[in-house]
């Protein structure tokens, strides 16, 4: 397998080149798996998310203490008040950075014994020492209060210790009720799965929670119970299970020597928005260090990473909320004028609702300005809109060409169902002009649902919008959507938003 040499064991192109499974249609999971799925539908906190949030909390805590001591002891009338305020924030930032260098935000220390707090206090003291030395050399004629520095150190140390005691108690509570964990599903049973599970269980700092095992093999080759964990169903059922639950990772335990079998599994599983790892615990092959991730001492080979995980997801959500709110305010006259025009042009409601595929293939109901005659509306999208379609109203023709009909989806963005930028959401039963479903036209079609769909996207600004009258057009949309998912950044979202008005000048295919 040549790709192993580069440190990237598999990629999407390798998986797509392999013969596909017999069917990509959704499979209904069995009753046993459905009961298990209901246990894992609530949200959970990942260690990476907790670590990032706690950095922010301790920064605010240290800065607040510095400012409070300054106000109470030094006084706001002091001529150096601005430098003191700057130092409070700078000292807090340096303190957090020093604690991070000391490993203070690793899960093992966050949930560790109270005696380990000395490392945090030492890092905080070092940060203030460096700050005072810097002030001595840069501003040796300025009289900064030593009492302020000393009190800040003592108060900050006490606050850090107390806050971490509270956090430690909460981590234990979250661990008990299943909120603080990485939920994993084992793909492949038998001896390989048992070896992996036993290895994970003996890791003192493991945050992995095994949710079950999925395997296509019969009970003779893959027992129904492995190391106390049940086999919940087949690989096809796992895809549906992954869409119903809040899980974080899939771990494939099949031996790497079974290359064809592993690739076949990845071809089915890569459409899920999850981390996919290969168990390397018993593998004879050895790869470059950057190929591996570890749970304690258990090595896993990284295959696919979940897009927009943790802080990326938060950054994109904040971006959506800010820009969607601004757009609703600025475009409110357009909303009002469009609503009046629709009411004057034809009978029926102003808004049109339609069920479409959302994140992880879940169904969402999106809003649009109505562009068809109400009695000819097609909420199931059984008939695609074509050039000179008699169902389209006069106002509808204009708002479809200019994409004004999509503006009510800003409400969906605020509700968290859509994003401003992402793959366009297609109707649940959408078909092409050739009466083929999108799943039949594009292999791996559901892979575009690994992120939230958007009002605009990379495919749209590159000219792939409008009627799908040829399979190649959908394929091009799909390829552009995957490019966006794999290369997402806030800057890319900004670029797409800025280019969207320009792309609307090209109305070919928008009917």
pLDDT at residue 89 in the model = 93
Cα separation, 430 vs 435, in Å, equals 9
Contact 315, 490 (CB under 8 A): yes
Q: Is the pLDDT of residue 116 over 80?
A: no
pLDDT at residue 431 in the model = 61
Q: DSSP 3-state assignment of 394?
A: helix
Tokens for 406, please give them. Answer: 């999509």
Q: DSSP 3-state assignment of 249?
A: strand
- DSSP structure class, residue 42: S
Contact 73, 151 (CB under 8 A): yes
Cα separation, 289 vs 360, in Å, equals 31
- Give the other-Cβ count within 10 Å of 221's Cβ: 10
Q: Which band of pLDDT confidence, cut at 50, 70 and 90, is reported for residue 11?
A: low
Q: Is the pLDDT of residue 510 over 70?
A: no
pLDDT at residue 2 in the model = 37
pLDDT at residue 97 in the model = 93
pLDDT at residue 26 in the model = 59
Q: What's the mean pLDDT in 279-300?
A: 63
pLDDT at residue 3 in the model = 42
Four-residue CA torsion sign, 165, 171, 88, 101: positive
pLDDT at residue 34 in the model = 84
pLDDT, averaged across the chain: 80
Domains of the chain: 2-44+181-304 (3.40.50.20), 47-177 (no CATH), 311-503 (no CATH)
Q: Which spans in 363-437 are helix H?
A: 394-401, 409-414
Q: Report in angstroms the alpha-carbon separations of 65 from 133, 135, 144, 252.
A: 21, 20, 16, 48
Q: DSSP 3-state assignment of 12?
A: helix
Helix axes 332-345, 311-330, angle to 10 degrees: 60
Contact 458, 494 (CB under 8 A): no
Task: Return the percentage of the chain with pLDDT > 70, whole number.
Answer: 81
Task: Identify the residue with better confidence: 180 or 501.
Answer: 501
pLDDT at residue 327 in the model = 94
Q: If you average pLDDT over each of 69-78, 147-156, 373-382, 463-472, which comes out highest? A: 147-156
Q: What is the pLDDT of residues 231-255, one digit of tens each?
A: 898 888 888 888 888 888 889 887 6
CA 118-120-122 angle, 5° bins:
65
Cα separation, 223 vs 420, in Å, equals 46
Cα separation, 304 vs 271, in Å, equals 10
- DSSP structure class, residue 228: T
Q: DSSP 3-state assignment of 325?
A: helix
Cα separation, 270 vs 304, in Å, equals 7
DSSP string, 260-313: HHHHHHHHHHTTSSSEEEEE-SS-S----GGGEEEETTEEEEEEE--TT-THHH
CA 232-278-106 angle, 5° bins:
100
Tokens for 117, please give them. Answer: 């707090």
Four-residue CA torsion sign, 287, 290, 295, 297: positive
Contact 67, 88 (CB under 8 A): yes
- Residue whose pair of structure tokens reads 């008699």 in the numeric block: 390
The strand pairing partners of 368, in sequence order, are 352
Contact 469, 432 (CB under 8 A): yes
Q: Is the pLDDT of residue 7 over 50?
A: no
Q: If you average pLDDT over each of 48-62, 367-381, 495-509, which comes out highest? A: 48-62
Cα separation, 62 vs 227, in Å, equals 46
Q: Is the pLDDT of residue 63 over 90?
A: yes
Task: For the chain, state the CA radius of gyration.
Answer: 28
Q: What is the pLDDT of residues 397-444, one digit of tens each?
A: 898 888 888 999 999 999 999 999 999 887 776 665 555 566 655 666
Cα separation, 75 vs 67, in Å, equals 10
- DSSP structure class, residue 29: P
- DSSP structure class, residue 387: T
Tokens for 404, please give them. Answer: 């004004």
Q: What is the pTM of this model?
A: 0.71
- Give the other-Cβ count within 10 Å of 459's Cβ: 24
Tokens for 503, please give them. Answer: 């792309």
Cα separation, 95 vs 132, in Å, equals 13
Cα separation, 27 vs 30, in Å, equals 9
DSSP string, 126-179: HHHHHHHHHHHHH-TTS---HHHHHHHHHHHHHHHHHHHHHHHHHHHHHHHHT-
Q: Which residues have a Cβ under 8 Å from the Cβ of 342 and sit 6 or more positions away?
A: 350, 369, 370, 393, 395, 396
pLDDT at residue 374 in the model = 81
């Amino acid at each position: 397998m040549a790709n192993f040499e580069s440190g990237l064991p598999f990629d999407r192109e390798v998986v797509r080149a392999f013969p596909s499974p017999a069917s990509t249609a959704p499979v209904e999971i069995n009753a046993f798996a459905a009961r298990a799925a209901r246990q894992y539908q609530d949200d959970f906190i990942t260690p990476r998310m907790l670590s990032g949030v706690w950095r922010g909390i301790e920064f605010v805590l240290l800065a607040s203490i510095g400012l409070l001591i300054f106000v109470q002891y030094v006084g706001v009338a002091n001529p150096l008040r601005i430098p003191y305020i700057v130092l409070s924030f700078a000292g807090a930032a340096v303190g957090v950075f020093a604690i991070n260098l000391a490993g203070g935000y690793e899960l093992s220390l966050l949930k560790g014994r109270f005696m380990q707090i000395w490392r945090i206090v030492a890092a905080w003291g070092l940060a203030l020492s460096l700050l005072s030395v810097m002030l001595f050399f840069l501003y040796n004629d300025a009289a900064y209060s030593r009492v302020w520095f000393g009190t800040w150190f003592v108060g900050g140390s006490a606050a850090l210790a107390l806050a971490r005691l509270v956090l430690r108690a909460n981590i234990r509570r979250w661990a008990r009720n299943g909120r603080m964990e990485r939920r994993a599903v084992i793909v492949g049973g038998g001896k390989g799965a048992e070896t992996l599970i036993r290895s994970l269980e003996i890791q003192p700092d493991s945050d992995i929670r095994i949710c079950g095992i999925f395997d296509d093999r019969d009970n003779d080759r893959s027992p129904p119970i492995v190391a106390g964990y049940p086999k919940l169903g087949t690989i096809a059922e796992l895809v549906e299970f992954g869409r119903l639950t809040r899980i974080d990772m899939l771990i494939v335990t099949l031996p790497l020597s079974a290359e064809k079998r592993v690739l076949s599994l990845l071809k089915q599983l890569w459409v899920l928005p999850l981390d996919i790892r290969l168990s390397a615990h018993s593998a004879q092959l050895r790869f470059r260090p950057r190929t591996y991730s570890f749970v304690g001492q258990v090595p896993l080979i990284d295959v696919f990473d979940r897009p927009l995980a943790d802080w990326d997801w938060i950054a994109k959500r904040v971006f959506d909320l800010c820009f969607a709110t601004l757009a609703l305010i600025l475009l409110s006259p357009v909303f009002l004028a469009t609503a009046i025009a629709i009411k004057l042009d034809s009978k029926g409601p102003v808004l049109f609702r339609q069920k479409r595929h959302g994140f992880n293939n879940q169904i969402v109901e999106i809003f649009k300005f109505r562009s068809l005659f109400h009695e000819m509306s097609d909420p199931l999208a059984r008939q695609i809109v074509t050039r000179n379609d008699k169902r389209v109203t006069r106002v509808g023709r204009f708002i479809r060409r200019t994409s004004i009909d999509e503006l009510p989806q800003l409400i969906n963005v605020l509700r968290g169902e859509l994003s401003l930028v992402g793959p366009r959401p297609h109707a649940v039963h959408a078909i092409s002009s050739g009466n083929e479903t999108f799943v039949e036209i594009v292999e791996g079609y559901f892979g575009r649902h690994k992120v939230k769909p958007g009002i605009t996207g990379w495919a749209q600004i590159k000219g792939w919008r409008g009627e799908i009258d040829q399979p190649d057009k959908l394929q091009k949309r799909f390829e552009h959507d995957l490019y966006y998912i794999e290369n997402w950044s806030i800057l890319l979202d900004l670029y797409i938003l800025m280019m969207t008005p320009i792309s609307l000048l090209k109305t070919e295919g928008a009917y």
